[in-house]
Structure 1
């Protein structure tokens, strides 16, 4: 598992703009949108190694967004597994557009039993009512 990589591609459309998401005023790739694509790259990579009934949840993200990407431009986000201990899996993540790197960081996910996790979450929602 360690050393495995995954890349996802996306286009910076309206729904990913800082001006649309409320994370800024400019028509550029929003930091939350870039982070979501990094997490998608990690999540889909880890899914390859899960047993039936398992899923993973994100638990930590530490990212720098270093360059703006304009509306309409294609970009990609990548994840590489760098450590795995017990149920925890750690990744390096990065994002690029045609001009070069736009962000990088680290991300952690924990493997969980999907049904049990959902059941605990549903119980929490019921307790809040």
Structure 2
């Protein structure tokens, strides 16, 4: 399988800080914000691969180690590298870095679903 990669880069904003997100008490990049950026990179790569308006992917698992703090205003990049794809399951290695190096790394799994059917199932979950 040809290795596919996608990288997303953002500048750390106040709403992405641990103190703002409620995931900690410091003005550093929150772990949930790192996870969201990694997941977004993987999602966008899946969308390119699927290239199908009827299908999308949903995240089903993510495991990361967030090993280095990043302050407000710093630029961070998250990279998703597709390691396995059986047509339905997409398994990624994910990492994030700032100008000083790696700040987080781990794995992420996404599963392709029929978008309309999945949304309908969610919308009707508590009807009845």
TM-score, normalization: structure 1? 0.95
Looking at structure 2, the residues matched to 54 and 61 of structure 1 have their Cα atoms a distance apart, in angstroms, of 21
Which range moved further: 78-87 or 60-69?
78-87
State the match for 1:40 in structure 2: 40
Q: State how many pairs are aligned.
A: 127
Gaps of 5+ in 1: none
**Runs of 4+ deviating beyond 3 Å:** none
Query: SS state of the match for residue 49, structure 2?
Result: coil
TM-score, normalization: structure 2? 0.95
CA-CA distance at 1:63 after TM superposition: 0.3
RMSD of Structure 2 on Structure 1 (CA): 1.0
Query: SS state of the match for residue 19, structure 1?
Result: helix
State the match for 1:99 in structure 2: 100
Written as runs of structure 1 = structure 2, the 5 A alignment for 1:36-115 is: 36-50=36-50, 51-115=52-116
